[in-house]
Amino acid sequence: MIISKIETIPYSLPIKKFADAYTPFDRSNAVLVKIYTDVGIVGIGEACAWEPEFYGETLETITSTIQKYIAPKLIGENPIDIQNILSIVDRSVARITCVKEGIDLALFDLAGKALKTPVYTLLNGKFRDKIPIASEIGIDDPDAMAENALRVLDLGIPVIKIKGSREYEKDIQRIKVVRKAVGDDVKLRLDPNAAWPTSETIRVMKEVEDCNLEFLEQPVDGKNLDGMAWVRKNINIPLMADESIWDHNDVVSIFEKKAADIINIKIAKSCGLLGAKKIEHVSDATGMTCLTGTEIEPGMSIAAKIHLAASIRNLVHACKFTELSLINESLLQPKIEIEDGYITVPDGDGFGFDIDEDLLEKYRVNLPW
């Protein structure tokens, strides 16, 4: 079996309006990646393209990079040799993680289908049949965020993460209003997306101590590990790293600096599942726990996250699936169902999902070349 063709399909799926400290948006952009073989098996992956303000990658750059610089080098290769193929990709293009995510996911789906096994078995097996889930609520006026939090709870998602901004006093108000609206039993988290300086972070956290937050996520710049360590030392809840984490080497640096308690794994940042498992293994060795994060993925990336979460040994906290509260039309078949705060891990070959081709065509983006 060899790779015979690689197809890229850019698309843009409308979502409910959402804002974080980087930008507001109302669409989730991605590039569907299909890897074809000479025996008729097709692997389907997805490259995140929704926030160039953070990743620096777009529908246009992902599509052209895969077609011009990667696909020609992979034709004729054995798709089951995942690490070898990804090393070819690494030698072909540097630093662009979303492009590599798309290829990685398609290879894992293809390998699972070829071997007639779920992807989680390729990730060293599963530790659970159901994944506990959480959702973010975007930046807005305090009362609007409270209403959004109640909407998320009504969907059956019991854990809520509040997005922070550069308006510190308003963020304090937002946190307090949301806590009052949802009651004392709902788990709340806070994520300023690296927008706060260390001094304001510590001050704000003291102001909201009575809100009983589950943990604080990446309040300061991702490169500022000394700042993260100082925050961690001066707050009374666990600290999670996100923007500080791109690969397993970053976990080592965080451990050495004592800069976090929890590691947020995002497959768009880790270049896919292979890199994600490296992050998990190093985190596990250092005694830090992990969870899977969200980039408001619109399709097959959601499926990949489910398999990754199923394979994480020490999964203490609910994983972030914000996309399930924002996407109106699901590309995945069958549709993911939420039940009592959990989603079920599929047992089909590969990722266990198909793509709604009609919906994909509806939201396909025709690039100008």
CA distances from 329 to 24, 91, 99, 296 (A): 20, 37, 24, 13
Q: Calculate the dihedral angle through the C-alpha atoms of 71, 117, 264, 19, rounding to the nearest 10 degrees.
A: 70
Per-residue pLDDT at 88 exceeds 80 = yes
Residues 189 and 289 in one domain: yes
| In a shared domain, residues 141 and 275 | yes
β-bridge partners, 345: none
Q: Is there a single domain that holds both residue 103 and residue 53? A: yes
In a domain, 226, yes or no: yes
339 and 253 in a single domain? The answer is yes
Q: Which residue among 163, 269, 277, 305 is the active-site one? A: 163
Tell whether 204 and 292 lie within a shared domain.
yes
Residue 305 catalytic?
no
Domain-embedded: residue 368: no
User: CATH number for the domain including 94?
Assistant: 3.30.390.10
19 and 157 share one domain: no
101 and 145 within one domain: no
Is residue 367 one of the residues assigned to a domain?
no
Q: At residue 369, does pLDDT exceed 80?
A: no
Same structural domain, 164 and 213: yes
pLDDT score of 250 more than 80: yes
Residues 309 and 221 both lie in one domain: yes
Q: How confident is the model at residue 52 (pLDDT cuts 50, 70, 90)?
A: confident
Paired tokens of 140:
């807005």
Six-digit token string for 111: 């390998």
Token couple for 235? 């707050």
* pLDDT for residue 87 is more than 90: yes
- Per-residue confidence (pLDDT) for residue 50, from 0 to 100: 79
Indicate the number of domains in the chain. 2
Determine the pLDDT at residue 137: 98
Q: Do both 156 and 237 map to the same domain?
A: yes
| Among 266, 277, 305, 320, the one annotated catalytic | 266
**Same domain as 110, residue 136:** no
Is 261 a member of any domain? yes
CATH of the domain at 327: 3.20.20.120
In a domain, 369, yes or no: no
For the question of residue 161 being annotated catalytic, the response is no
In the 3-class helix/strand/coil scheme, how is the chain assigned residue by residue?
CCEEEEEEEEEEEEEEEEECCCCEEEEEEEEEEEEEECCCCEEEEEEECCCHHHHCCCHHHHHHHHHHHHHHHHCCCCCCCHHHHHHHHHHHCCCCHHHHHHHHHHHHHHHHHHHCCEHHHHCCCCCCCEEEEEEEECCCCHHHHHHHHHHHHHCCCCEEEEECCCCHHHHHHHHHHHHHHHCCCCEEEEECCCCCCHHHHHHHHHHCHHHCCCCEECCCCCCCHHHHHHHHHHCCCCEEECCCCCCHHHHHHHHHHCCCCEEEECCCCCCCHHHHHHHHHHHHHHCCEEEECCCCCCCHHHHHHHHHHHHCCCCCCCEECCHHHHECCCCEECCCCCECCEEECCCCCECCCEECHHHHHHCECCCCC
What mean pLDDT do residues 311-335 have?
A: 96
Same domain, 335 and 247: yes
Q: What's the pLDDT score for residue 23?
A: 87
Q: Tell me if 54 is assigned to some domain.
A: yes
Residue 269 lies inside a defined structural domain of this protein: yes
State the pLDDT at residue 190.
98
pLDDT band at 118 (very low <50, low <70, confident <90, very high): very high
Domain that residue 59 falls in = 3-117+355-362
- pLDDT single digits (tens) 274-318: 999 999 999 999 999 999 999 999 999 999 999 999 999 999 999
